[in-house]
Structure 1
Amino acid sequence: MINLEWLRTFSSIYECKNITEASKKLNMTQPGVSKHLAALENHIGKKLFERTTRKLTPTEYGRFYYSQIKSPLQELEKVEYYSNQRVKKQRHAITIGCTTDIFRKELKYVIYSFDMYIVTCFGNEKELVEALENDKIQLLVGIKKHSKYDHEFTFFKNEELIIICSNDIEIPEDLKKDEKQLIKWLQKQTWFTFDNEQDDIKKFWETRFNTTPKIIPRYVLPSYVDIIESIKHSQGFSVVPKHLIEEELKHSTIKIPFEISMSIDHKRFYSYKLKNSNSKEINMFREQMEITNVNNVSVKRNSQKNQNSFAKPNQT
């Protein structure tokens, strides 16, 4: 069987026209190069070079042989190069879980720049927590803290909760001055909620009215974006993260029925199992998210500065 290294040596000698230069190119000793050439000539039974004191001149068969192996040898070298590159640059792989809201608003336009293989699983929070516990997912992104399993939580972001309603709903004026009557009226309205636990509504209610809501939601949807879209086209109330309704408020497709004096913050977390074999991938994903968020904040600040500078009138 012919040795690929013999062919590489022959090709280098042919192109360099002498043993010395070929040995430098191949990072080999001169006796090693001569040995490869002799082995190849012995294998094919043909003389490939005429030897002179200064250089090697290819024989007629040597020129023919070089023309036959040049292209295949180059293709083999390409395959070898890219194979080595893939070995040198091994991408880490991770399976993450999140709600469709988190993916749309936080991940959709950033994770494609991560130098990782990423599999994304969607579901409601209960399904995602179960998937993490059963090792179907290595990392949850933007999850609420729970106590069902011994999972680790690290801070992801803060969300401000706000009450919203359909544009055509008007709160009677007399109820705005009577909190007890307002509460009764609100509890009779059609409500959309993120899950049966009603965590967002409860948190809002306790902060605004210092009591527990007595609400039976008409519709339970596993996506805030879907809740907002539903309220735009029907009558109802909900409590949602404020950052998700910026465009709707701008275009007046929904409204905030009343303001409250204090903000209601809701923390979201990364979540993963304390004992796992993917700590490196988890940390890498989180670091990439942090870098991306810092860059995004910087871009927004620079954009705001530019807008402000253009808005300033010329002073004379």
Structure 2
Amino acid sequence: MINLEWLRTFRAVYKTKSLSKAADMLMVSQPTVSQQISALESRMGKKLFERKSKGVIETDVGQMLNTMISGSIEALEGVEHKIIKPDSNLKNILTIGVSPHLYKTTFCQNILSLGEYVHLTFGSKQQLIRDVEEGNLLYAIVPEKQNTYDTYCHHLTAQNVVLVGTPDIDFNE
């Protein structure tokens, strides 16, 4: 399996065209960058860069790899930046369970409007309620009301769709 750090190092070298500049960018030593690029090339069985006296030039395989991974690596770096940024406005993670049918028919268009980072889990009504009771989910969206000792239900729509949560959750929010 390819190490994610190798790909991150590859992207830095690709952007800077230099092992030493990539090392500065990643805050590691130049030999570390060189070792990671060598390990990635060894794992892939292909050269990714041609070493020159004033830096590196990507090979055709290097260009192809960059095209394939650039969006993913930048997305991961964006997540990292958002989480570690001191003034981050990242809100709490909402963990919501919902059946695949309810998600597709009712909520897929509205989930993003929550303005929070939402982690969805799909499952049956019974499993989702059990996950709320066990603390694995903050909420579950199910097709019918089913209060238990450890949960409370709140109607979401005029249709028979309810939000299940523990008694300490403020449903008015």
* TM-score, normalising length: structure 1: 0.27
Larger RCO (CA within 8 A; separation ≥ 6) = 1
**Larger Rg computed on CA atoms:** 1
* TM-score, normalising length: structure 2: 0.48
